[in-house]
Structure 1
């Protein structure tokens, strides 16, 4: 019977997830001979067999993919017969362009979890157990394509038993590049802060467990960097961690052994359960239970220490996502704080000596291993907002998944902003957004920023032709970009925010971008932050914004909501801002600040909604000093969410170009309410007013499509109310889901701006 030879070229997520074994099984099922190989861009396949069976092969290839696999392009061409004798996996081909479809690190799968707790398995209690469906990927890759010798596993020669599994077509470790066992793979050690070995192998694990049980702080080398662990039920341990890490108030993330443990301390709905148990295994922000939910197992009850997340109704929770985490949590029997292995304002540690140097005065001991981490990738954070899981910090489990556009762009580097920095680079129509790098306030962070630029360019073999940066020349990202010796192009901060949401959803103008955040430099050299932008194919127009007010002390007003409240009061009643004396300032501070406001000394003007949130929180007595970014706004949202009301305050729209939203009527009514209404109701009325402002301005703008972006739209209550009003009014509304609404998405928007030049 006549046979055909087909060559199949595939791009997409087809490496590092068992795709080649999947193709081998298909070839056996449909009696095809030939080969498959990884290439720099994806995979290449040759099959020879009967036509009908080849069609069934192609149908199964497209419709029965392995978990996480995704085909972005597939081409089939007829070739001359080669009369292949069998079907083989050939050595990888590394020439040509590098693929932009690289898998992120993945949490341990249920089958491997079973293995590490099965005494009959040779992977029993082995902390580096993995298979084709789980384990490290991006954090250990030296270069593409994804093969063991091109990862940090290259120095671990597999043993006979692992080789047998690797070659067994029906084994889920068939061609698993990270395969390893206690006889041939990475090993753990426990070190003291001076680097001396305290224990090795299983003894190291037992010693680390004992240290945690006795209230010690343990630094653990995870997939993408170090974490600091402490007993989440031990108040003294939490206090020591806060003191040593210089993190006095910001809530800590928790790691628990399983979903049942998460449900004991938090309310977890179905979508949040899916997020927790996903291969990305992010930190999920969940509503804290007032009392523990014991379920059917009252023997495992535990009470969190008050210092874990003071004054917060949300807890950041993640499930154990590596074999090492599972082994620790299984024997501990209580949740642990699992926070990034860094000190204040510095990037996460990912090299052993780096961790010992920087964390030597924080951790009591270090649980390390000898598999190198090649790039730092912190834990991701997500939150359920308006019925969608929304990424707030994009790193492990999500990076470096690309954002694909409809049209190609010239290869360009975008360097993001100052806070929550990420960078982005593109190859044709695919944009790769880096992992979360954090704030660029420290020299160590700036060094990691520069290292990440070099890493992205080298790993993806992209030579950018230009660099895009924020309009603010004082940002470290803008300053560092100026030293890279390439053509520079600034993009306005809030325009980039809106464009990041457009890029995520594949949208094009005309669009109304509603961008609310802490601040960003505007085209008029003032601080914007409460913006309604009409976006066209040639750029943007500032359609409306909130009335500006002064921020006494400039940057200090970001740290102190009481100063924002003072600026608001001064705006509506100059000279009477201290009249009610409910803002905590000393007599000397009152004198100095009054002079500064009256003479406009270091009192920049802003339209920022972030600062408006701060000011209202301070007026209500919730938060006068921000001990961490967004604290006042989070407390205001939490308070509002405790009541139900549709009541709102008044506001005015001043006829101008752009339209000015005058918040003075709202603030006057709000201050009157303080004497005779509950703070929770006032907070809810404030949120309702903002949502109504969005609705009214959207109607005036007369654009059907609306995007919401900026840090203020991490507020789930605000988003839900705004989207509800907009959809009821007939608008198409888009919010962030896979890209952070905060400054972590700026670099994506900066690159997308290349599409819309005037």
Structure 2
């Protein structure tokens, strides 16, 4: 944007520029200071509750050059989303300064995610001649904690947990030096004035401090001990990833029999030695977000214990992202399991005193520090799907996420669902999606969840005027919404998935949303999960769903794929299904179980009907002998996906057919399942049938889109974490001259529900129509 000009090029002007976007905690004020000084302009720049405000004064041409350079030279992660320009009276101000923040007025500034250690800080960390040599809390303007330590905006040191550490003279000199990359770096510290490291035993007694603490932890890990490390956004549990006995011990203590563990490796070269890494995946690994990236394991990664990711061709790998991690990995030189510091589905621990109690009997020692963590932030998980990044767990490095939503005027709060919960806030034309909280099944996670809601409201200093939640009446998040004493917007689960995907892709209607997941509360009170929903300017309408079948045992069936299989087989073969002894789900039953399950299916007692695509994946996993009982959510569906990737031969299955059924169509998968059973009995390999199953489902999506006549098709819901299903659907849609969309920034699973709920509450066209 060019400045106003006058007839005389040297006429002095003064302008105020109010900027919003990613402009706090990313070096934006020092950047503005350097530009203004280089152009000989006077004025000032400061943080505000809404972003950054600056005033510049000088010759018109210099101001015009400054504004052009502001756009051309700004470097990520800094970004300007909006600006307002105002003409002011000249004050004859010649110097330019960074001044104290203004904390009054609206509070809508973007809070930046935590950033991985930059190359310059890493070089200092490993340089024996540098005063920050081996200092595990080295940061600068370009890296270090942000969201995990902030108490309020504007982002200033005294509004973070760093306020307890007074800068020494040398750090203060850096902070005030425009030539330093620590100029106004709010986390600036050194060994003389900053946070300190300590090693505790299981009784909380200090065993060692500073670098000696790290060296002793390295020795403990070499011995096969389990170490609890206080990281950036919470505790992690570490163990030698090469040591099968140590990994097995961690599984036993954590009660996590089969779910894969994440790995931290010393370098990109080490990652290449154990996994296949494409260019896009490498970019994510070395990015400032430094997430866990799901990568295909090398054919024989002998340096990794089999127990790290049993029966799984993928490895979740991340690089060191804090100075503490870099120092530890530099000392060890081998991969570590680095998993969340918690038990079961509890939230990660963020306080060292809590760690002693909640990780008692799990960790052998505790590597801690005295910089408080205010907001817990787990490690993010991403996967490249159809050549593009899809965030599966949005947390460290990615959260909070801010999205444009011009329709939002009054503050709104959305409380998400029950699993993979996240919270969202709608304020001043934006949606802020908080970090992953987890499943709300236990008291500890519910307490952390309630705290995350309060934290978000306090951070932005807003009082919501309405609360959005899932329609499920028994979700803890729904009950919490009802306790606010505010208007409650109950959002259909699968519509929220579609709206979240539309936000993610910047879509208005019309669009056909294919919302497939494990389950969600349907508008008719039944369990949905295989829905086709059209959203347009007039509202939304469910146009089809997968053929429903019963789940004997209800919630138990969600943990036992064999029960989903019995329900699906009963939908195809009737009572004869319980006599198919050659099939794995039937063969796995004890004699006493058969008549009980048969009665459930025949009478519909404790056997709710579902249209869930996720449960259909469970059924196929069981029929093909891949998984009868699941130890973690998604295990059976993952087994089907992984089997499909191993297929050496191609077979075909009938594409599910579409038939009219009242207000919505039914997509009938029963002939396809009957063909799977017949082929499996005939000895067709499970891998070939798993691949054909994916292909048939992709064909059903295309058929439904053609029938509806909607060329824009959005794939959403937890089933589209499955790369094969998504990629085959995308390709088949493109082959049919249709336009596919899928998730990128907002998770396709229930971690994205809160964003869709905000869109619904803000008045997105959400009237249900005939």
Give the TM-score category using the shorter length. Answer: over 0.9
What residue in structure 2 maps to residue 125 of structure 1?
134
1:100/1:427 contact within 8 Å kept: no
1:647/1:688 contact within 8 Å kept: no
User: 1:389-435 CA deviation, whole Å, 9 max, x = no partner?
Assistant: 10000111111121112432432111111100111111032011111
Q: Is the partner of 2:308 in helix, strand or coil?
A: coil
Cα distance in 1, alignment partners of residues 735 and 650 from structure 2: 15
* Structure 2 counterparts to residues 410-449 of structure 1, below 5 A: 410-449=410-449
Q: Is the partner of 1:118 in helix, strand or coil?
A: coil
What residue in structure 1 maps to residue 717 of structure 2?
710
User: 1:286-311 CA deviation, whole Å, 9 max, x = no partner?
Assistant: 0011124xxxxxxxxx6111111100
Cα distance in 1, alignment partners of residues 235 and 202 from structure 2: 14
What residue in structure 2 maps to residue 307 of structure 1?
307
What residue in structure 1 maps to residue 597 of structure 2?
593
What residue in structure 1 maps to residue 702 of structure 2?
695
More divergent stretch after superposition (140-149 vs 94-103): 94-103
Cα distance in 2, alignment partners of residues 308 and 368 from structure 1: 25
More divergent stretch after superposition (402-411 vs 207-216): 402-411
* Structure 2 counterparts to residues 276-675 of structure 1, below 5 A: 276-292=285-301, 303-581=303-581, 582=583, 583=585, 584-643=588-647, 647-650=651-654, 651-657=656-662, 658-674=664-680, 675=682
What residue in structure 1 maps to residue 51 of structure 2?
42
What residue in structure 2 maps to residue 246 of structure 1?
255
Q: Is the partner of 2:33 in helix, strand or coil?
A: helix
User: 1:67-122 CA deviation, whole Å, 9 max, x = no partner?
Assistant: 31100112222211212241111111111111241111000011111110111111
What residue in structure 1 maps to residue 7 of structure 2?
none
Cα distance in 1, alignment partners of residues 710 and 109 from structure 2: 34
1:235 aligns with 2:235: no
2:20/2:109 contact within 8 Å kept: no
More divergent stretch after superposition (31-40 vs 625-634): 31-40
2:565/2:623 contact within 8 Å kept: yes
- The correspondence for 1:98, drawn from 100, 107, 120, is 107
Cα distance in 2, alignment partners of residues 15 and 64 from structure 1: 17
Q: Is the partner of 2:516 in helix, strand or coil?
A: strand
Q: Is the partner of 1:181 in helix, strand or coil?
A: coil
1:18/1:66 contact within 8 Å kept: no
Cα distance in 2, alignment partners of residues 725 and 80 from structure 1: 61
2:547/2:666 contact within 8 Å kept: yes
Q: Is the partner of 1:587 in helix, strand or coil?
A: coil
How much has 1:174 moved relative to structure 2?
Answer: 1.3
Q: 1:152 to 1:311 in 2, by over 3 A?
A: same
Cα distance in 1, alignment partners of residues 651 and 747 from structure 2: 30
2:650/2:688 contact within 8 Å kept: no
Cα distance in 2, alignment partners of residues 144 and 80 from structure 1: 29
Cα distance in 1, alignment partners of residues 725 and 29 from structure 2: 46
Cα distance in 1, alignment partners of residues 540 and 16 from structure 2: 47
More divergent stretch after superposition (577-586 vs 608-617): 577-586
Cα distance in 2, alignment partners of residues 660 and 428 from structure 1: 41
Cα distance in 2, alignment partners of residues 644 and 102 from structure 1: 49
What residue in structure 2 maps to residue 735 of structure 1?
742
Q: Is the partner of 2:162 in helix, strand or coil?
A: coil
How much has 1:642 moved relative to structure 2?
Answer: 1.8
User: 1:522-578 CA deviation, whole Å, 9 max, x = no partner?
Assistant: 111111111111113343211111111110111011100001111111112222113
1:750 aligns with 2:746: no
Cα distance in 1, alignment partners of residues 346 and 313 from structure 2: 27
Q: 1:646 to 1:510 in 2, by over 3 A?
A: farther
User: 1:347-389 CA deviation, whole Å, 9 max, x = no partner?
Assistant: 1111121111101211111101000001101111000111111
1:22 aligns with 2:31: yes
1:17/1:66 contact within 8 Å kept: no
1:22/1:66 contact within 8 Å kept: no
- The correspondence for 1:685, drawn from 681, 687, 692, is 692
How much has 1:41 moved relative to structure 2?
Answer: 1.0
Cα distance in 1, alignment partners of residues 504 and 305 from structure 2: 39
Q: Is the partner of 2:519 in helix, strand or coil?
A: strand
Structure 2 residue runs without a partner (length 5+): 1-9
1:517/1:610 contact within 8 Å kept: yes
Q: Is the partner of 1:708 in helix, strand or coil?
A: strand
How much has 1:653 moved relative to structure 2?
Answer: 2.1
User: 1:494-524 CA deviation, whole Å, 9 max, x = no partner?
Assistant: 1111010011222112211101000111111
2:389/2:744 contact within 8 Å kept: yes
What residue in structure 2 maps to residue 295 of structure 1?
none
* Structure 2 counterparts to residues 5-16 of structure 1, below 5 A: 5-16=14-25
Q: Is the partner of 2:757 in helix, strand or coil?
A: helix
More divergent stretch after superposition (638-647 vs 439-448): 638-647
Structure 1 residue runs without a partner (length 5+): 293-301
How much has 1:647 moved relative to structure 2?
Answer: 4.2
User: 1:45-77 CA deviation, whole Å, 9 max, x = no partner?
Assistant: 122211111111111111100331100112222
Tell me the TM-score normalised to structure 2 length. 0.96
How much has 1:591 moved relative to structure 2?
Answer: 1.9
More divergent stretch after superposition (101-110 vs 579-588): 579-588
How much has 1:665 moved relative to structure 2?
Answer: 0.9
More divergent stretch after superposition (163-172 vs 101-110): 163-172
1:183 aligns with 2:192: yes
Q: 1:711 to 1:534 in 2, by over 3 A?
A: same
Cα distance in 2, alignment partners of residues 465 and 496 from structure 1: 20
Q: 1:100 to 1:736 in 2, by over 3 A?
A: farther
Tell me the TM-score normalised to structure 1 length. 0.97
1:100/1:430 contact within 8 Å kept: no
Q: Is the partner of 1:278 in helix, strand or coil?
A: coil
More divergent stretch after superposition (643-652 vs 246-255): 643-652
